[in-house]
Amino acid sequence: MAELNPFKIAQTQLNEAAQILGLDKATHELLKWPMREYRYLLPVKMDTGETRIFHAYRVQYNAARGPTKGGLRWHPDETIDTVRALAAWMTWKTAVVNIPLGGGKGGVTCNPKEMTESEKERLARAYIRAAAPVLAVDRDVPAPDVYTTPQIMAWMMDEYETIVGHKHPGVITGKPIPLGGSQGRGDATARGGVYCVREAARAKEMDATKMSHAVQGFGNAGQFAALLHCEILGGGKLLAVSDSGGGVYSKSGIDPEKAVHHKRETGRVAGLPGTEPISNEDLLELDVDVLYPAALENAVTADNAANIKARIMCELANGPTTPEADKILFENGVFVLPDFLANAGGVTVSYFEQVQNTANYYWPLEDIHVQLDRRMTTAFHDVHTMSTKEKCHMRLAAYLVSVSRVAEACKLRGWC
């Protein structure tokens, strides 16, 4: 369906903010489109001896506030429009947490679940050979995303350094710690989201220590959200988790550590002892205090938004809610923490990684957590203040904060 095209959704969300901000036509048009985008064909020899051709992308959406920054996704349904949308959201994400970066994104259309480690390495190196001319620590910096890992980032960094002939660790973030990665990067996306949930609970005068929660999507961010929710908030009960193969539910609560262990041992959450099956669709509609959508785009639409019963919805996934659903959720009193605020912890710690790589001085984990908490808390209150002032939902408020910052940088540069 056309309305579920992620880039059309991103543009629709921008248009609403632009109208309220009164952006002039040139600035609005500049922010509606990527400033640069690249497409690559990557020939990769597979273990069978055959050569497969992979379609790949890199979008540098806007660099007014600094070098573009954004993840690299490997997914069988990856498209240029998905990458454009994610690059746009990354532009607003870096602006809303007020770090000196622009927004970018990359993707490869592939199914890494069907690839061996050696095939993944050859694909990673092929991507960097193609994209290296447009990457640099002061130009565009990739990071891990869906189905890419610290090991894949390590291969990419090594290939880049081989090409340029010198050490350049800051050009790739999300690396293993022995190769210049940052402490705290693994759980940063979820941790930042839970910090936002904590602030939302305070704003809504809810007892954070007693909030039930459910996690839709049990990858890296979802698993850490399950683990960190009770730790950071001081209590709560995990009622359900799900992945692409279905979900599990327990009225008496699920031990998050056991759920994570089961997922890592079996590759899925289904069959977790002491639980009953639940579909992804039914999980989204559970009566919980906090819902964490942590899978892919368009999970909450006009078709199911009216059935969402959560008091707070913390979007750890990118683009899980359509514009039509946003209006319904707002009218029904669901407090949505929008993706490019709620999941900005990842890019924030990636920024910390760039800073540490450049200084060749590395921070202890406690400092990472303090700095992340400070930035996420400030960003939440910037957005919440705007939401209260404009009497609008949090996503629109986040757009008003971030778009105004990017527009200001564009104007100061004389671009519009």
pLDDT block averages, 10 residues each, the chain of length 416? 75 94 97 98 98 98 97 94 94 97 97 97 98 96 92 98 94 96 95 98 95 94 96 95 93 95 93 94 95 88 95 93 92 95 96 96 97 98 97 95 98 96
Q: Dihedral sign, CA of 337, 340, 341, 342?
A: positive
Q: Which CATH class is domain 2-179?
A: alpha beta
Residue reference for tokens 């489109």: 33
Closest to 174 measured CA to CA, from 53, 291, 69: 69
Q: Clarify whether 204 is annotated catalytic.
A: no
Distance CA 57, CA 81 (A): 10
pLDDT of residue 323: 86
Q: Where are the alpha helices (DSSP H) in 22-77?
A: 25-32
Regarding pTM above 0.75, the answer is yes
Q: Would the CA dihedral through 270, 272, 278, 280 be positive or negative?
A: negative
Residues 120 and 151: their CA atoms lie apart, in Å, by: 10
Residues 6+ apart with CB under 8 A from 137: 67, 168, 170, 171, 354, 357, 358
Q: What angle do CA 395, 12, 5 make, to 5 degrees?
A: 105
The per-residue pLDDT for 244 is 86
Residues 6+ apart with CB under 8 A from 351: 69, 94, 99, 101
Q: Tell me how long the chain is.
A: 416
| Residue in 8, 45, 69, 105 annotated catalytic | 105
Pairing of strands 102-109, 51-62: antiparallel
Please answer whether residues 73 and 107 qualify as being in contact, where contact means their C-beta atoms are separated by less than 8 angstroms: yes
Domains of the chain, residue spans = 2-179
Q: Which pLDDT score, from 0 to 100, does residue 2 have?
A: 46
